[in-house]
C-alpha cells in the first residue's frame, strides 16, 4: 500500500517534467522559439537578411498586419526594408511572453509580444507565427503582427 502513493507521486513528477524537457530539447534542436530568438538577435545587430532567414523562402510565406496581407519572401523583405530603412528606424527589438504550441510533428504556433525601443518612440504589439519544420529547420510560413494603439 505504501508503494502506490509513491508510484503515483513519481509518475506525476515525471509527467510534470516532460513539457519542460521537451521544450528544452526543442530549443537545442532548433525549435520554433529558437527561430524567434535568433530573429530578435539579428534585428538588434541590424542584420535584416539574417532576420529574414527565419521565414520560409518561398512565394507562400505571408505577413498580415493592419495594412493587409502580403505574400512572398521577397515581398516581405521589401516591406521590412521600406519600413525600417536604417538602424535608427529599426531600434532595439525585444520579444516577451513567448509561447510555443506544437500543432503536429512538423508545425507550431508561436505567440508573443514585441516592442521596439527607438529614440523618438517605443511601439509595441502582439504577434502570432505559424512555423513548419523543413529539412533546413523550422521556418515561419505566416506572420500576423498587430501594433497596440498609440
At 15 the pLDDT is: 30
pLDDT of residue 150: 83
Of 27, 28, 58, 53, give the one whose Cα is nearest residue 40. 53
**Considering the domain 31-147 in this protein, what is its CATH number?**
3.10.450.50
All structural domains of the chain with their residue ranges: 31-147
Could you read off the pLDDT of 99-136 as tens digits, one per residue?
999 999 999 999 999 999 999 999 999 999 999 999 99
Q: Rounded CA gap, 115 and 10, in Å?
A: 41
Can you list the residues of the chain whose pLDDT is less than 70?
Answer: 1-30
Question: What is residue 108's predicted lDDT score, i.e. its pLDDT?
Answer: 98
Amino acid at each position: 500500500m505504501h508503494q502506490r502513493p509513491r508510484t503515483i507521486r513519481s509518475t506525476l513528477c515525471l509527467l510534470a517534467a516532460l513539457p519542460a524537457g521537451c521544450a528544452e530539447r526543442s530549443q537545442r534542436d532548433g525549435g520554433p522559439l529558437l527561430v524567434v530568438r535568433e530573429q530578435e538577435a539579428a534585428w538588434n545587430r541590424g542584420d535584416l537578411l539574417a532576420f529574414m532567414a527565419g521565414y520560409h523562402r518561398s512565394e507562400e510565406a505571408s505577413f498580415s498586419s493592419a495594412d493587409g496581407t502580403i505574400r512572398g519572401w521577397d515581398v516581405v523583405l521589401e516591406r521590412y526594408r521600406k519600413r525600417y530603412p536604417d538602424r535608427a528606424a529599426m531600434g532595439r527589438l525585444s520579444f516577451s511572453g513567448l509561447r510555443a504550441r506544437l500543432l503536429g510533428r512538423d508545425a507550431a504556433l508561436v505567440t508573443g509580444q514585441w516592442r521596439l525601443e527607438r529614440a523618438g518612440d517605443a511601439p509595441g504589439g502582439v504577434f502570432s507565427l505559424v512555423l513548419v519544420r523543413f529539412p533546413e529547420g523550422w521556418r515561419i510560413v505566416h506572420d500576423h503582427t498587430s501594433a497596440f494603439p498609440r
